[in-house]
């Protein structure tokens, strides 16, 4: 409308001249916004390449998800952790619960139903290769869409599935002239079961029962090999049963109506036992049309499953009505973000990512508000909250997914925050880092709950008990529990909320040997969590608590070795005596979790400015970022390029492209984020680059396509890249809508030329927290040509309160030299605020045959180089040089592991980073990041020279 007067005037003038207006002919109206985003969702995206999502029928955050269980011919293992893998084209059942994008061996996959076009003549538990009671299928006969899944099996059966929050509807069509059987494999959860029950009632045409399972990641450690939930179900059919039967292990019992049994418990290495299991089957009269089933589930009781079915899927409600309602539920949730422009493929990738980001956490409360809590007791959702949630992969989703779902619906975020608090209260005050249903699994590391709650509150989810949650989290961060002090589950399933908290409080870093998984990584996770606690405390008016945890948030500095590598400092493993763990390289995974030193060093989300200073300044940090994202030939290195490069298919690296905004190069954030989106994310089955981790990776894509990201996950400032779409509207139920107009937006035009925020010109690559609170309008001009100056001088805020003003380090901590040769190590004392660093004294102790120059002294100008020389007649072998550094009242002795060996000898190629002495804490070696090492004495006793 604004252009109409000009257009009419130009048209009149040009018509007089008898010519057409070429400039106006090229102009186009702004693209329309997507009306129904469900048409752009493809649940099959991410079912390959380790994405591990499931394609079945589910509503947003639904308790029930009815989806296929694929097989590769081994009944004890699912084809993929989500139950489905695109290239495994054989199905053994359609189960009622799933987790999207997990690793390990999967979990849930409870109560698989399998429509079988034949007579049941042998125990399905004996079909250990899934050769009989399974069927192939073709993707050409498969439909997956929000709230609905349908597949035609090679057997001639068609399975058509849809869902409500706590129930499902199925339509099973059997081929004419063939027996029509239905198996209910009650024992066959994805990772097996401790027990199951099933009862068939022909009079009411129902099958009901339960499964008791758990065992998520149980194969990794006995701590996980346990049952911690029972799921109850009831299934109602519209057709009479012509015959019934059950099975238990290898025994088939035709005519039976009840049985029980599991898959052998979880004592067999966390895997189901082949040939064990139980279930029931029924047969229907063939040729009478499709069989319709309605199924309800509950974690409370059999009666609650029936009540859920009555409340959400009563008799007479048609399959089509349930399917249409599921689609409406998705249209409402997905429609909170409407985009205009882009290609069909870009819209499909975007809305599929948003879909995956809204699958978890899951509702675990029943229609009447009751739920089974972390203590195993039945509780009721509190007043003012709509549901209790569970299944929360804290380590993954605290970074961006809870922020996204809260931005779109603060009430949902509030309910999730309150849910986490309630489960912690029921669990003796312990906030488990990875919840499966209501139960803690202890998987991963860190303490993600403070950051998740702070992020939820920052993005508008304020309706939860902030003071109660804060008090609980502060106690967990200051008072070690028996679980914290226990090595049980170490390293991957450490039972404590803050493992070895006693050591952390004493040392102000997590040492290389502790109950935590990855000491260096744990220090970074604790620093992030403590910063989040400072934000929660500030919101609650607890100023002293906020200040104390803001200081603790800078303890990452105590794990930053400024002399770790000639190329600069890194987060590194540190021993309890203050010395740095030997054998450091930037690509080492020792001390880290699903990553390396090079990848984890960037994980100081609240203080990039302090991190850059520790690296030697912004320019050095910028050069390191460039190296991190590029290979030797200058190409992008986003995944699979080695431990010194980024891995944007996993959480530890996903925030790093946004650090360019802090380093004075916003245009590099824009180009790096966009390149990663285009290279790693597609509309193919492998279109999610790695485990989607309950929507965490998909949330990264959604935020990145919007052009903004919660780089500090416990605060609401948004760091900017650039929007993928020309138009974006984010509608929020409590107001504060966000509108984006991006002139020139295109996949190959990521660069910001200008930005107006609520009509005012803006030259900074970030938005304040008030923008999330109040909403607003962003008007971009984008280009395919970078503007290197835009936003370069206005970095996002870093929070440096409590930062120590200097870093001290000794390195490298390993060296090899030949007799008669020399090598160099150094002591660095770096000021983070400019000027000279602190006074640091050093003293070097050397073994026989090795000398040091200088052997003692004071560090000047921030660095001191020390030359170590081996005499020509020095004995070849392994030895330690000890460098003691002292600053003020603090001192530590750093061993430098020295190998004296002639070039080309086998000895020169050895290392001993996995070998330790039997005495002491064994923290001079760590070959897996979990503190494990080989005994030097045991190797010697076996006649093996350590090396």
* pLDDT tens, position by position, 725-756: 999 999 999 999 999 999 999 999 999 999 99
pLDDT interval class at 926 (50, 70, 90): low
CATH assignment of the domain containing 863: 2.60.40.10
**In Å, how far from its chain's centre is CA 401?**
9
User: Residue 910: is its pLDDT beyond 80?
Assistant: no
Which range, 282-291, 391-400, 916-925, is most confident?
Answer: 391-400
Torsion of CA 753, 759, 765, 768, to 10 degrees: -170
Percent of the chain at pLDDT > 90 equals 86
159 alpha carbon, distance to own chain's centre: 32
Residue 712: which of 567, 608, 867 has the closest Cα? 608
The arithmetic mean of pLDDT across residues 821-844, rounded, is: 87
Q: Check whether residue 16 and residue 142 sit in a common domain.
A: no
Q: Whole-number mean pLDDT of the chain?
A: 94
Note whether 192 and 105 are same-domain residues: yes
Is 356 part of any domain?
A: no
Distance CA(453)–CA(936), nearest Å, equals 46
**Per the domain annotation, does 839 fall within a domain?**
yes
Domain assignment of residue 196, given as a range: 40-327
Chain-centroid distance, C-alpha 805: 33
Would 439 be classed as within a structural domain? Answer: no
Terminal Cα distance for the chain, rounded: 77
| Contact by Cβ (8 Å): 47, 84 | yes
Whether 105 and 169 share a structural domain:
yes
- How far apart CA 213 and CA 752 sit, in angstroms, is 51
For residue 254, what is the DSSP state?
E
pLDDT band at 917 (very low <50, low <70, confident <90, very high): low
Distance CA 694, CA 46 (A): 12
Closest CA to 68 of 86, 88, 83, 48: 83
Cβ atoms of residues 237 and 293 within 8 Å: yes
CATH number at residue 130: 2.70.98.10
Q: Which of 327, 347, 374 is the last residue of a domain?
A: 327
Report if residue 565 sits inside a domain.
Answer: no
Distance CA 573, CA 509 (A): 10
Flag whether pLDDT at 862 surpasses 80.
Answer: yes
pLDDT at 19 over 90: no
149/264 same-domain check: yes
Q: What is the mean pLDDT of residues 800-814?
A: 90
Residue 490 lies in a domain: no
Residue 597 counted as domain residue: no
* Structural domain contains residue 865: yes
pLDDT digits (tens, 9 = 90+) for 525-553: 999 999 999 999 999 999 999 999 999 99
Please check whether residues 207 and 266 belong to one and the same domain.
Answer: yes
Is residue 290 a part of any domain in this protein?
A: yes
- Answer yes or no: is pLDDT of 44 > 60: yes
pLDDT the model gives residue 205? 99
Does residue 919 carry a pLDDT above 80?
no
Cα torsion for 433, 435, 440, 446, to the nearest 10°? -10
Note whether 17 and 69 are same-domain residues.
no
Question: Do both 269 and 214 map to the same domain?
Answer: yes
- Whether residue 56 is found in the same domain as residue 7: no
Q: What confidence category does residue 269 fall into, taking pLDDT thresholds of 50, 70 and 90?
A: confident
If asked whether residues 836 and 884 sit together in one domain, one would say: yes
490-505 as b/e: b if 16+ CB within 10 A: bbbbbbbbbbbbbbbe
For the stretch 270-279, pLDDT in tens is 999 999 999 9
pLDDT band at 3 (very low <50, low <70, confident <90, very high): very low
Q: How many domains does the chain have?
A: 3
Expressed in percent and rounded to 5, the helix, strand and coil fractions of the chain are 25, 25, 50
Is pLDDT of 24 > 60?
no
User: pLDDT value at position 909?
Assistant: 72
pLDDT in tens, 121-145: 999 999 999 999 999 999 999 999 9
CA pair distance 828, 826, nearest whole angstrom: 6
Contact 539, 453 (CB under 8 A): no
- pLDDT given for residue 858 in this prediction: 94
| Whether the predicted pLDDT of 892 surpasses 90 | no
Q: Which of 327, 358, 385 is the last residue of a domain?
A: 327
Q: Is the pLDDT of residue 458 over 50?
A: yes
Q: What is the mean pLDDT of residues 847-851?
A: 96
pLDDT tens per residue across span 46-96: 999 999 999 999 999 999 999 999 999 999 999 999 999 999 999 999 999
Which domain-ending residue is among 327, 346, 362? Answer: 327
Contact 430, 481 (CB under 8 A): yes
CB 199 within 8 A of CB 208: yes
Q: CA 639 to CA 598: how far, in whole Å?
A: 13
pLDDT, residue 5, reads: 32
Statement to judge: residues 20 and 90 lie in one domain: no
Full DSSP string of 870-913: E-TTPPPEEEEEEEEEEETTEEEEEEEEEEE--TTSHHHH---T
The phi-psi region of residue 734 (left if phi > 0; otherwise alpha if psi is between -120 and 50; otherwise beta) is alpha
Same domain flag for 7 and 150 = no
Q: Is the predicted pLDDT of residue 22 greater than 60, yes or no?
A: no
Closest among 342, 331, 334 to 727, alpha carbons compared: 342
pTM of the predicted structure, to 2 decimals = 0.93
Q: What angle do CA 800, 803, 807 make, to 5 degrees?
A: 130
In terms of domains, do 47 and 25 share one? no
């Amino acid at each position: 409308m604004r252009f109409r007067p000009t257009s009419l005037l130009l048209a009149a003038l040009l018509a007089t001249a008898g010519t057409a207006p070429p400039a106006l002919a090229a102009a186009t109206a702004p693209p329309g916004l997507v009306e129904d985003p469900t048409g752009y969702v493809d649940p099959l995206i991410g079912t390959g390449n380790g994405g591990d999502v499931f394609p079945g029928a589910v509503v947003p955050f639904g308790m029930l998800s009815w989806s296929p269980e694929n097989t590769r011919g081994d009944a004890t293992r699912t084809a993929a952790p989500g139950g489905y893998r695109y290239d495994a084209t054989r199905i053994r059942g359609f189960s009622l619960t799933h987790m999207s994008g997990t690793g390990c061996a999967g979990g849930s996959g409870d109560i698989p139903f399998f429509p079988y076009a034949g007579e049941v003549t042998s125990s399905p538990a004996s079909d250990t290769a899934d050769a009989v009671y399974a069927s192939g299928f073709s993707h050409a006969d498969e439909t997956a869409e929000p709230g609905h899944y349908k597949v035609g099996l090679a057997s001639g059966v068609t399975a058509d599935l849809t869902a409500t929050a706590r129930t499902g509807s199925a339509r099973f069509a059997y081929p004419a002239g063939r027996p029509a059987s239905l198996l209910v494999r009650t024992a066959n959860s994805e990772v097996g079961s401790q027990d199951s029950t099933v009862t068939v009632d022909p009079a009411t045409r129902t099958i009901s029962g339960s499964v008791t399972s758990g065992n998520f990641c149980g194969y990794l450690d006995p701590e996980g090999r346990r049952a911690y939930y029972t799921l109850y179900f009831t299934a109602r059919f519209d057709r009479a049963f012509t015959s019934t039967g059950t099975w238990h292990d290898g025994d088939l019992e035709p005519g039976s109506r009840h049985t029980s049994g599991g898959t052998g418990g979880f004592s067999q290495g966390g895997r189901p036992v082949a040939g064990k299991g139980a279930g029931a089957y029924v047969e229907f009269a063939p040729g009478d049309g499709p069989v319709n089933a309605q199924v309800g589930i509950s974690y409370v009781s059999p009666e609650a499953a029936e009540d859920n079915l009555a409340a959400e899927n009563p008799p007479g409600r048609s399959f089509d009505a349930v399917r249409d309602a599921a689609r409406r539920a998705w249209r409402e949730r997905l429609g909170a973000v409407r985009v205009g422009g882009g290609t069909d493929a870009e819209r499909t990738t975007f809305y599929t990512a948003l879909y995956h980001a809204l699958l978890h956490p899951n509702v675990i409360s029943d229609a009447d508000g009751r739920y089974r809590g972390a203590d195993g007791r039945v509780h009721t959702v509190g007043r003012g909250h709509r549901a209790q949630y569970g299944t929360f992969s804290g380590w993954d989703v605290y970074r961006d997914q809870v922020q996204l779902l809260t931005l779109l619906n603060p009430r949902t975020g509030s309910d999730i925050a309150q849910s986490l608090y309630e489960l912690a209260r029921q669990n003796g005050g312990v906030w488990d880092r990875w919840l499966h249903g209501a139960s803690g699994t202890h998987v991963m590391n860190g303490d993600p709950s403070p950051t998740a709650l702070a992020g939820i509150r920052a993005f508008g989810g304020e309706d939860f008990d902030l003071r109660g949650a804060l008090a609980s989290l502060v106690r967990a961060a200051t008072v070690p529990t028996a679980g914290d002090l226990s090595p049980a589950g170490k390293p991957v399933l450490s039972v404590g909320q803050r493992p070895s908290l006693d050591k952390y409080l004493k040392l102000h870093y997590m040492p290389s040997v502790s109950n935590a998984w990855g000491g260096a990584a744990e220090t970074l996770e604790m620093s992030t969590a403590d910063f989040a606690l400072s934000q929660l405390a500030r919101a609650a008016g607890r100023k002293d608590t906020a200040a104390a945890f803001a200081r603790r948030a800078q303890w990452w500095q105590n794990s930053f070795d400024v002399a770790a590598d000639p190329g600069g400092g890194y987060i590194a493993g540190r021993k309890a005596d203050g010395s740095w763990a030997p054998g450091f390289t930037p690509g080492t995974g020792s001390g880290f979790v699903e990553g390396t030193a090079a990848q984890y060093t960037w994980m100081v989300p609240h203080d990039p400015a302090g991190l850059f200073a520790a690296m030697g300044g912004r320019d050095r940090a910028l050069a390191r970022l460039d190296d991190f994202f590029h290979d030797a030939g200058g190409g992008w290195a986003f995944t699979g390029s080695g431990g010194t490069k980024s891995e944007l298919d996993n959480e530890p690296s996903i925030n790093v492209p946004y650090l360019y905004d802090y380093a004075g190069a916003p245009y590099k954030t824009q180009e790096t984020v966009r390149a990663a989106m285009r290279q790693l994310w597609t509309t193919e089955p492998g279109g999610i680059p790695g485990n989607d981790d309950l929507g965490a990776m998909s949330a990264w894509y959604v935020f990145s396509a919007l052009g903004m990201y919660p780089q500090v996950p416990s605060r609401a400032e948004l760091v900017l890249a650039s929007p993928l779409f020309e138009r974006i509207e984010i509608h929020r139920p409590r107001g504060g809508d966000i509108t984006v107009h991006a002139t020139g937006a295109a996949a190959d035009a990521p660069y910001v030329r200008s930005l107006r925020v609520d009509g005012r010109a803006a030259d900074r690559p970030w938005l304040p927290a008030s923008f999330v609170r109040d909403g607003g309008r962003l008007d971009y001009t984008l280009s395919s040509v970078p503007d290197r100056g835009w936003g370069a001088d206005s970095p996002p805020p870093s929070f440096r309160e409590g930062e120590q003003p200097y870093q001290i380090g000794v390195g490298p901590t390993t060296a090899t030299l030949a007799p008669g040769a020399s090598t160099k190590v150094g002591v660095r004392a770096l000021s983070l605020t400019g000027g000279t660093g602190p006074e640091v004294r050093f003293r070097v102790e050397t073994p026989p045959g090795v000398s040091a120059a200088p052997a003692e002294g004071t560090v000047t100008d921030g660095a001191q180089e020390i030359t170590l020389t081996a005499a020509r007649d020095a004995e070849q072998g392994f030895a330690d040089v000890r460098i003691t550094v002292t600053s003020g009242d603090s001192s530590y002795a750093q061993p430098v592991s020295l190998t004296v060996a002639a070039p080309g000898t086998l000895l020169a190629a050895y290392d001993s980073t996995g070998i330790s002495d039997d005495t002491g804490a064994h923290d001079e070696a760590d070959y897996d990041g979990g503190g494990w090492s080989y005994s030097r004495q045991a190797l010697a006793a076996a006649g093996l020279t350590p090396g």
